[in-house]
Amino acid sequence: MTFATCDLCDAHEDKLAAGTLHVLPPIFASFGRKQSFCGPARTLKVFEDNVLVRATLETPGQGHVLVVDGGGSLRCALVGGNLAQLAQDNGWAGILVNGCVRDAAELNACEVGIRALATHPQRSFRKGAGDADIKVGIAGVAVYPGDWIYADVDGVLVSRSAL
């Protein structure tokens, strides 16, 4: 699918005004070989623990975007090169992390789109805590399972329906 977030915003000003289309703040860095990606959201809420992230990426992605609400933590990474490879191998369209990633060179070699706040060399804890398929908050925007995520070089959009 070819799209431009700028064009989507222009074409759907009514949805922006109605609050069914949101533009995330421009705080996310881009990783992975796919500069543009979109798909329905699968959501996780974790904090400095990536066990659920791995378990989810081990399942068939079917073109979905994994949205990880990591609470905005900048103290460790939730996604690294091995998980990006899982995402690529299992058909995920992309990953959006409200937190950090690591292994940037490995991420950039994968055919998947990734957005995250920053890089951090330390891996996360592995306790298995968190929730899946719930409403999460990403940079002040609510994201529900099934919402559509559109990301390209200009930004990231969250839409209640496919555009």
Q: Is 80 annotated as a binding residue?
A: yes
What's the rounded Cα separation, in Å, for the pair 139 and 28? 10
Q: What is the 3-state secondary structure (H, E, C) of 60-86?
A: CCCCCEEEEECCCCCCCEEECHHHHHH
Q: Is 70 annotated as a binding residue?
A: no
Q: Tell me which DSSP letter residue 107 carries.
A: H
Q: Is 7 annotated as a binding residue?
A: no
Return the biggest CA–CA distance within the chain.
44
Q: Is 102 annotated as a binding residue?
A: yes
Q: Is 52 annotated as a binding residue?
A: no
Q: Is 54 annotated as a binding residue?
A: no
Give the annotated binding-site residues for substrate.
80-83, 102
Sequence ranges of the binding site for Mg(2+) = 103
Binding site listing:
80-83, 102-103
